[in-house]
Amino acid sequence: MGEKIAIVTDSTAYLPQAVIDKFEICSVALSVTIDGKSYVENKDIDESNFYSIVKAAKSFPTTSQPAPGDFVLLYEKLRDKGYDTVISVHLSSGISGTYQNAISAGKTVDGIHVVAYDSEIACMAMGMLVEKAAELVATGTKLDAILRQLDAMRDAMGAYFIVDDLNHLARGGRLSNAQAIIGSVLQIKPILHFEETKIVLFEKIRTQKKAFRRIEGLLTEAIKNGQAQQAYIVHGNCYEKAETWRAELQKAHPDVAFHISYFGPVIATHLGEGSLALVWTIK
Amino acid identity, residue 78?
L
pLDDT at 254: 97
Dump pLDDT digits (tens) for 240-273: 999 999 999 999 999 999 999 999 999 999 999 9
Q: What is the count of structural domains for the chain? A: 2
Within this chain, do residues 146 and 14 fall inside the same structural domain, yes or no? yes
Within this chain, do residues 213 and 235 fall inside the same structural domain, yes or no? yes
Q: End of a domain among 121, 155, 189?
A: 155
pLDDT at 182: 59
pLDDT at 223: 98
Q: End of a domain among 120, 155, 190?
A: 155
pLDDT at 173: 76
Within this chain, do residues 13 and 127 fall inside the same structural domain, yes or no? yes
Question: For the range 168-176, what are the long-range contacts, defined as Cβ-Cβ under 8 Å and sequence gap of 24 or more?
Answer: 168/60, 168/269, 168/270, 168/271, 168/272, 169/199, 169/270, 169/271, 169/272, 171/60, 172/60, 172/62, 172/63, 172/269, 172/270, 174/95, 174/199, 174/270, 175/199, 175/200, 175/201, 176/94, 176/200
pLDDT at 177: 64
Within this chain, do residues 147 and 233 fall inside the same structural domain, yes or no? no
Predicted model pTM: 0.95
* Residue 142, domain CATH: 3.40.50.10170
58 within some domain: no
pLDDT at 164: 82
Which residues in the chain come in under a pLDDT of 50?
Answer: none
Within this chain, do residues 167 and 218 fall inside the same structural domain, yes or no? yes
168 within some domain: yes
- Closest by CA position to 201, among listed 211, 190, 212, 210: 190
Domain range for 200 is: 157-281
Residue 247 has a CB neighbour count (10 Å cut-off) of: 12
Within this chain, do residues 169 and 263 fall inside the same structural domain, yes or no? yes
pLDDT at 167: 75
